Structure 1
Amino acid sequence: MTILAAFDAAVAAHPDRPAIINGKGRKVSFASLHDRAGFLAGEWAKRGIGPGDRVLIAVSVTPDLYAALAALWRLGAVAVLPEPAMGLKGVKTALAAAEVKAWIGAGVLRVLPLLVPRLLGVTRLSLGAGAASAPPSASWPDDHPALMSFTSGSTGRAKAIMRSHGFLAAQNRAVGPLLASDRAEIDLVAFPVFVLANLGSGVTSVLPNWPLRRPDRADPQAIRAHIAKHGVTRLLLPPVLAEALADAPLPASVTTVFTGGGPVFADVVDRLAAHNPALRVMAVYGSTEAEPIAELEVSALTRADRARINGGEGLLAGPPVSAVRVRIVDDEILVAGDHVVETYVDPADNAATKTRDESGTIWHRTGDGGRFDEVGRLWLLGRTQGRIEGLWPFAIEVAARSWPGVKRAALCPLDGKACLAIEGDTARLAHWQAAAAALGVTTVVALKSIPLDRRHRSKVDYARLAEVMRASGA
């Protein structure tokens, strides 16, 4: 079942249920969102938008974003979504990869042509007010293109990915078991892919009340108030926000936290559990090209698991989800499945990350080091390119999180040798040096802060860290 067909079914089953609640508290029901999408589809069809046309979306994360996606897909058009973390550069990257017939801009983003001259003369589609009852969605073939998105570029050049209607449906099927519940849930969602899944399953999505591009600047008290106001039962957040919320109790309505987009550390879960003893915390491992890959209930880690993590064996990601196949080749995690991207828009990008086996199956090389344990759970070791003197980044960094006074740690090269950069209480430096030596790292450098990735502010930005190290004279 396509996302649109699933959305139609959810509308029929729960027409008056809120589909989306925006960051300011405005509620849009499933029926209203459906009618809004029908209106936009009708208006845009009059502007000549039809099957296969590529349309750039420059819209903030609001209910209208999802109405626009549904409208374009109803018409058989392709939504082109720039990578938000890249800002203006992301728009330029998207336009270089896609010959767009039109673009959608709202609010301050309507001035984009002044900043990106390539948009001058390209038709702008309006998000004008209106709603219209719409017939059931057209049934597009599984291979009909639906969405062009982009990798973050955090580990190299941003790459364009084309997702078909069949791919999006497969991704929803992969996510479905993770989000399945026997009760009516209300989710606070920071990841757009999960909003799409919720629209197809009748679950209410509450949108963020913080700037999505800077989750590290979010106000935890404002988030708690947002949760309480709307009776949120589940949180789907990047680790940086889970950590920000860990210093005080969550509203009593919250039963579960799903987190991903960066490593999920046991010490953060411990802090969450200290204030919310019954809280269930689920870590989801995946990538832009394959989401999800594995999942783990971190709140149920055993004492033995924790000892292995703290002893330098890596970060436990849990068992692979049923929809994906995972293999380890030369210490690298490879994945295949219906929701795994098999090719980039530019085939030249495939050489480094795609490989075909003897049966013709295309495997995606994640670039992450990993291994399976004796019960088939996946352990993460860090980026394969980040291994230094035989040491894996996560093996050292995750262990360092258990040391007194450590807020964040990152393994990096220094004069060709392994060095551990640590952000934390520098009064503990002597302890850190002794603990690091026991893991095979002879140099420890204290930094005021360790730079994080642009997308979720939850992973170490190793390229910027190298610049910081050079600037510090370490």
Structure 2
Amino acid sequence: MNLLAPILAKLTAHGSRTAIIAADGEHASYADLLGRSERLAAAWQRQGLRAGDRVLVAMPVGIPLYASLVALWRLGAVVVFPEPALGLAGLRHALRVTRPRAFLAAGWFRLLRYWLPELWRVRLVLGANTSAATAADALETVDIDHPALISFTSGSTGQPKAIVRSHGFLATQNARVAELLAPQRDDCVDLVGFPVFVLANLGLGVTSVLPNWRLQRQENTDTGRIARHIAAHGVSRALIPPSICAGLADHPISPLDAIFTGGGPVFPDLLARLATRLPDADIVSVYGSSEAEPIAHQRLAEVTQDDWRAMREGAGLLAGRPIPEIAVKILDREIVVTGAHVNKGYLDTRHDQTSKLSLDGAIWHRTGDAGRLDERQRLWLLGRCDGTVGDLPPFGVESAARFWKGVEQAALVSVDDRPVLAIAGDGARQAEWQAQADRIGDIRVIVLPRVPLDRRHGSKVDYPALKAALRRI
């Protein structure tokens, strides 16, 4: 098998249809991607790249990146993606952990082989220029367990863990994502803020518009620029993290058919703002993780008044019913999952000891998220297991607080064994917020200019940074 088989069939079938629109407006058709990948594969084959070789990839998110991915998988090579949010530290970590045979870079990233001593021992250097290459229609047949991709967790809970995805795993994961993203019309154009979802779109025949913002510190993006990007390319759906949704919810935007958002907690106040801005859009919150994507999803149109009331009163975040292809258990309040598209182990097996369980003859992944299943078997998220403050679930308190007047951000942590609710917003309302918090429990409210967020999607609270900031007050 080869995970590319169905994707190559779409590349061939759709020919002149636009596959990808880059941030600068460059278009690539399905035929373009097919031709580029054939020429790259032929050139790299001549350089000596073989099936099973690990290739560290350092390229901007653009058309050459996706042509290169297709070319590498044609040859059965293993793509190694460093965690981009960690910058050079993430790249060095990937080099140490995976020890790649080849390095593929474009743009200024090519200079890294001269700057980083760790790259000096990587002798095979690949280029992404296809102008002078001849084409070869190669497609390596590999075993279902043959590795295709090594990527990394965000490192927000410790050292980034290397996740190995095989051809069989990626093909299954793409199928699950494709089911979620199945378009309702033939001329669908997606703004894709999650680079991995472009692969699913290629298999669906959907046009992907790449982000025109930096994928680090996304909470600081220029919302007006994104809105113009959407209008210029006739985007009909957006696949974007909550941080980007938050900006668009407060800015004039062209009508959209749908928004899919995840990669961090999707709070109910944000969903309400999106619904006001885009009343005709199908708004879907997606819950998953690096090791299991997707786990569950919830359409806003199916959220009941009782659900809204529960979230306002601190019941947590409604993530929806788990997809049929995944099994979910709640063990000691923690969400654990298993299924064909759930990662069963890390490259460094020592990480399995804290993240994997053997139950009922299967390997289960411990998400680290606290949650519960309601009487309708819908999943509710309560926050990180290690972030629970006494009996107070972080997402329960935070989602309730975000409905208070003047609140822009809210995060619950324990400081010196006391619950502290950090709030960014209209600080003149601090006394009002404290009165509201007193009704929930013994919680001290502290006002901050901003609550620090994660570097990957700008949507999760950076709790260590937050605790450090609160202790300085």
TM > 0.5 fold call: yes
Q: Distance in 2 between matches of 1:291 and 1:105?
A: 27
Distance in 2 (alpha carbons) for counterparts of 1:306 and 1:441: 24
Matched residue type, 2:383? G
Q: Structure 1 residues 274-283 or 457-466, which shifts more?
A: 274-283
Residue in 2 that maps onto 1:157: 159
CA positional deviation for 1:269: 2.1
- Pairing 1:108-123 to 2, within 5 Å after superposition: 108-122=108-122, 123=124
**Deviation of residue 462 (structure 1)?**
0.2
1:310 and 1:441, CA in 2 relative to 1: closer, same or farther beyond 3 A?
farther
In structure 2, the residue matched to 1:371 is 372
Contact kept? 2:223, 2:251, Cα under 8 Å: no
Q: Deviations over 1:255-283 (max 9, x none)?
A: 10110011112222222222322111110
Query: Which stretch has the larger CA shift, 342-351 or 172-181?
Result: 172-181
Asked whether 1:195 is paired with 2:198, we answer yes
Structure 1 length as normaliser, TM-score? 0.97
Does 2:400 align with 1:389?
no
Give the Cα separation in 1 of the matches to 2:216 and 2:398: 25
Q: How many residues align?
A: 470
Measured after TM superposition, the shift of residue 132 of structure 1 is 5.0
Residue number in structure 2 paired with 1:208: 211
Q: TM-score, normalised by structure 2?
A: 0.97
Q: Is the 8 A contact 1:249 1:276 kept in 2?
A: no
Please, which moves more after superposition, 404-413 or 122-131? 122-131
Q: Give the CA deviation at 1:214.
A: 2.7
Q: Quick check: 2:337–2:366 contact (8 Å CA) kept in 1?
A: yes
> 1:22 aligns to what?
22
| Native 8 Å contact 2:224 2:251 kept in 1 | no
Opposite residue 228 of structure 1, the aligned amino acid is A
The 5-angstrom pairing of residues 264-279 of structure 1 reads: 264-279=266-281
Per the alignment, residue 10 of structure 1 pairs with 10
Q: 2: CA distance between counterparts of 1:432 and 1:11?
A: 55
* 1:416 pairs with 2:417: yes
Q: How much has 1:389 moved relative to structure 2?
A: 1.5
Residue 137 of structure 1 and its aligned partner are, at CA, apart by 2.7
Who is 1:45 aligned against?
Answer: 45
- What secondary structure is seen at the aligned counterpart in 2 of 1:175? helix
Amino acid in the other structure paired with 2:9: A
Aligned residues of 1:3 and 1:196 also touching (Cα < 8 A): no
Residues 7-406 of structure 1: pairs in structure 2 closer than 5 A: 7-122=7-122, 123-130=124-131, 132-135=134-137, 137-184=139-186, 185-252=188-255, 254-357=256-359, 359-406=360-407
1:430 aligned partner: 431
Measured in 2, the distance between the counterparts of 1:396 and 1:223 equals 31
* Residue identity matched to 1:108: W
Corresponding residue for residue 442 of structure 2: 441
- Unpaired runs of 5+ residues, structure 1, are none
Q: Which amino acid aligns with 2:171?
A: A
1:4 offset after TM fit, Å? Answer: 0.7
- 1:429 Cα deviation after fit: 1.1
Cα distance per residue 1:49-82 (max 9 Å; x no partner): 0111001000010111111111111111101000
Q: Distance in 2 between matches of 1:400 and 1:299?
A: 23
Alpha-carbon contact 1:423-1:446 (below 8 Å) kept: yes
SS in 1 for 2:254: coil
Query: Deviation at 1:113?
Result: 2.4
Deviation at 1:121, TM superposition (A): 4.2
Please give the secondary structure, in 2, of the residue aligned with 1:403.
coil
Q: How far apart are residue 410 of structure 1 and its match? A: 0.7
2:471 and 2:227 map into 1 onto residues whose CA distance is: 39
* Secondary structure in structure 2 of the residue aligned to 1:3: coil
- State whether residues 227 and 251 of structure 1, in contact with CA within 8 Å, keep that contact through their aligned partners in structure 2: yes
CA deviation after TM superposition for structure 1 residue 170, in Å: 0.9
Which amino acid is 1:148 matched to? Answer: I
Task: Please give the alpha-carbon distance, in whole angstroms, between the structure 2 residues aligned to 1:28 and 1:179.
Answer: 21
> Are 1:341 and 1:364, in contact at CA under 8 Å, matched by a contact in 2?
yes
Aligned residue identity for 1:48:
G
Change (3 A) 1:319 1:356: same
AA at the equivalent of 1:256: A
AA aligned opposite 1:137: L
- CA distance in 1 between partners of 2:412 and 2:229 (Å): 37
Structure-2 separation of matches of 1:132 and 1:15: 19
Structure 2 unaligned regions, length at least 5: none
Deviation for aligned residue 1:118: 1.2
Report the Cα distance in structure 2 between the residues aligned to 1:434 and 1:417, rounded to whole angstroms: 17
Runs of 4+ in 1 over 6 A off after TM superposition: none
**In the alignment, is the contact (CA less than 8 A) between 2:44 and 2:126 conserved in 1?**
yes
Aligned mates of 1:255, 1:77 — CA distance in 2: 37
Partners of 2:442 and 2:362 in 1: CA distance:
40
On the 8 A contact 2:319/2:378 being kept in 1, the answer is: yes
Amino acid at match of 1:234: R
What does the per-residue CA deviation read over 1:273-303, in whole Å, with 9 as the maximum and x for residues that have no partner? 2232211111000111111111011244221
Q: Contact conserved, 1:8 with 1:136, CA < 8 A, in 2?
A: no
